[in-house]
Structure 1
Amino acid sequence: MLVDKSERIHTDSRTPKYLQVVNLILDEIEKGKLKIGDRIPSINETSFDFLLSRDTVEKAYNELKDRGIISSVRGKGFYVTSTNVENKVKVLLLFNKLSSYKKIIYYTIIETLGEHATVDMHVHHYNVDLLEDLIHQNVGKYNYYVIAPHFFDKETHPISGYELLKKIPKDKLLIMDRAIKGHENEFPGVFQDFAKDIFAALETGLSHLRKYKKMILVFPKGDMYPLEIVDGFKRFCFFHDFENMILDGIDDAPISDGDLFLVLAESDLVNIIKKAREQMLTLGQDVGLISYNETPLKEILDKGISTISTDFIHMGKSIGRQIMGEEDKIPIKNPFRLIVRKSL
């Protein structure tokens, strides 16, 4: 390699070693020291020169091949095939749905990647058959695949999709929003732990919750929300001795003084606010209200709606940083918290 042998790989850098190798080669191309058709050292040669494992160098060369910068000729070695060092990392996002929360993640990923990547997006609508088609159509076309693995069968029973996800090369796959049950440590990415998250977040607000007589989770059937939310809610109420109830929606019946509602759907949020006004009940005093998932609107709606939520901006940034090699590609649990406002 043309790089001065005194220029070492920085072991204390946040940039992974394989990306440092990638950047060194790209720098040589940008300076004109490597041109189209030039041979670069073999994996073994680069491994020896920079005191790196063969796997690290192979990963770097595969990254350069994916970007179209180099190609391999059987029995001869690796050659520069493009000097377009601005060749961007290609990322495919496969979301389960396009909600306001997913939009926050989407735009944060784009902002974090900046000009270094191009991002395409598809929605699989919780359907593994549709996801399989999307993977079949796009496998090999992208450097990274970011998947939100929320899947249900035709009877709306949750399924993991594990066998399907294994069709994507492991070093190109990032899981977002949900871990694969039974394989939580297998795939890198950023995930929520829905049951533990809701339990821990509600515990931080115990002093506010204790003034209410009953906790009511409004969990719509058929809307494909994670069932672990119900598990975490039930466990919290059991351990802290709260009278509780689970409803699948807000009907025409009046709400009661002393009720605390935890709602997932925006329509139920609006209905409870309307009912409280109609019955002359004050949110945060007579009736409590917590909405699942934070949005800017909830901060100002009706003087402030309390929320229980993961940090969607943090999730998007962490995914982007893993793609760019600025964070280790490992499974990361995303922050989750209760935000107390007037409605509580």
Structure 2
Amino acid sequence: MLVDKSEKIHTDSRTPKYMQVVNLILDDLDSGKLKIGDRIPSINETSFDFLLSRDTVEKAYNELRDRGIITSVRGKGFYVSSTNMANKLKVLLIFNKLSSYKKIIYYSIVETLGSQATVDLQIHHYNRTIFENLLERNLGHYNYYVLAPHFFDENNHPETCYDLIQQIPKDKLLIMDRDVKNHENEFPGVYQDFARDILEALESGITHLRKYSRLTLVFPRGDMYPVEIIDGFKRFCFFHNFNNLILDGIDDEQLYAGDSFIVLAETDLANIVKKSREQGLQLGKDIGIISYNETPLKEILAEGITTISTDFIEMGTTIANQILGEEDKIPLKSPFKMIIRKSL
């Protein structure tokens, strides 16, 4: 019998029980205790030996079958079909775009998965039809699908595409970067809460913001940013009595001493830095700048740009660990914070 001691399952481990079963079987393959053609215990037998529920063992066997390690023979049971430990997990990342911070998430996922998985990347460009076509071509070919569910309809209104997302088996789907509206607790993964995040981040830096007479959010409406950011910004200004303004862009705007800006697009960030130099306004004294999403460049640009941002490296690491079974597959809110630098 493969395993006959329930003590081999650690109830206090962060690794889910089904993955502990998977790893024990892989260990026996690696050591040579199991060979191609060997029968492994039935689901009921392993359930009894491990003192686990049948559902847990079935989930472990499905994982092994998806990897091509075991096969089921109707009426006879489960048999080892491969001892090739190079049978890696196949992961498909479906991003809305490939921005600088999406690249950080991508590389974090790839680095954390290491040699245990192969990773492919597709972009849906916020478009329902492209996403539908991606699903049609790729469903059934991967062990896990990681989706950034940012979608807009033909009128640039946010949509969930929930009917399409449901086509992905729930045990193979992880959401990333944002939740699915009205289904926030349904899908595991790591998400940002855009309205709450900007509200709480600005509150953490309120003493710096009080130096300025007006707070302006530069929100390019045609670039498909999360509209919840506007809601969080308005709430902050209302609750804390800030004179405020929302602009679509900064190209034609004159800067004035006492202005502070929250910018989403890096082109707007560059424009404000350039205009401030041309007008002789000192960052962090005459005007303030907060940029959305931390990147290495912002740490050194103009002697340091203040950012409000989630931790994209941690987001990718958590997603990868959920895939590997190192962390529970549950919905997790990504931490979000303000990093104070000279520009504020």
Q: Calculate the TM-score normalised by the size of structure 2.
A: 0.98
Give the aligned partner of residue 22 of structure 1.
22
Equivalences for residues 52-67 of structure 1 within 5 A: 52-67=52-67
Query: What is the distance in 1 between the residues matched to 2:319 and 2:301?
Result: 30
- Separation of aligned partners in 2, 1:43 and 1:80: 14
Listed as ranges, the matches of 1:309-328 within 5 Å are 309-328=309-328
Per the alignment, residue 249 of structure 2 pairs with 249
Instruction: State the alpha-carbon separation in 1 of the partners of residues 302 and 24 from structure 2.
Output: 55
Residue 234 (structure 2) pairs with residue 226 (structure 1): no
8 A contact 1:3–1:28 mirrored in 2: no
Q: Deviation of residue 133 (structure 1)?
A: 1.1
| CA-to-aligned-CA distance 1:179-237 (integer Å, 9 cap, x gap) | 00111000000000000000000000010000100000000021000000000000000
Question: 1:94 maps to which residue?
Answer: 94
| Aligned equivalent of 1:339 | 339
What are the superposed Cα offsets for residues 313-335 of structure 1, whole Å, 9 maximum, x if unpaired? 11011101111111110000001
Please tell me the residue identity of whatever aligns with 2:60: A
Contact 2:190/2:334, CA 8 A, preserved across alignment: yes
Shift, 1:163, TM fit: 1.0
* 2:253 maps to amino acid: A
Partners of 2:149 and 2:176 within 8 A in 1: yes
CA distance in 2, matches of 1:191, 1:269: 25
* Aligned residue in 2 for 1:329: 329
Distance 2:315 2:111 in 1: 12
Measure how far apart 1:10 and its partner are.
Answer: 1.3
Structure 2 counterpart of 1:42? 42
Q: What's the counterpart of residue 143 of structure 1?
A: 143
Q: Secondary structure of 2:177's match? A: strand
Q: CA deviation at 1:31?
A: 1.9
* Cα pair 1:190 1:332 within 8 Å, conserved: yes
RMSD across aligned positions (CA): 1.0
The yes-or-no answer on 1:127 pairing with 2:146 is no
Partner residue in 2 for 1:162: 162
Deviation, 1:4, is 4.7
- What code does the residue aligned with 1:286 have? D
Q: Which residue of 2 aligns with 1:117?
A: 117
Larger mean CA deviation between 27-36 and 117-126 belongs to: 27-36
Q: 1:26 & 1:91 partners in 2: Cα distance?
A: 20
Shift of 1:137: 1.0
* Partner Cα distance (2:198, 2:339) in 1: 12
**In the alignment, residue 326 of structure 1 is paired with which amino acid?**
E
Pair 1:44–1:303, CA change in 2 (3 A): same
How far off its partner does 1:251 sit? 2.6
Q: Does structure 1 retain, via aligned residues, the 8 Å contact 2:219–2:264? A: yes
TM-superposition CA deviations, 1:59-80 (whole Å, max 9, x none): 0000000000011111211111
Distance of 1:59 and 1:166 partners within structure 2: 20
Residue 291 of structure 1: aligned partner: 291
TM-score normalised per structure 1: 0.98
Q: What displacement does 1:12 show?
A: 1.5
Whether contact under 8 Å (1:218, 1:248) holds in the other structure is yes
| Distance (Å, rounded) in 2 between the aligned partners of 1:24 and 1:180 | 35
Are 1:188 and 2:196 matched, yes or no?
Answer: no
| Superimposed CA distance per residue, residues 90-135 of structure 1 (whole angstroms, 9 cap, x where no aligned partner) | 1110000000000000000111111111111000100111111111
Task: Give the number of equivalent residue pairs.
Answer: 344
The answer to whether the 8 A contact 2:6-2:50 is kept is no
Which segments of structure 1 move beyond 4 Å, counting only runs of 4 or more?
none
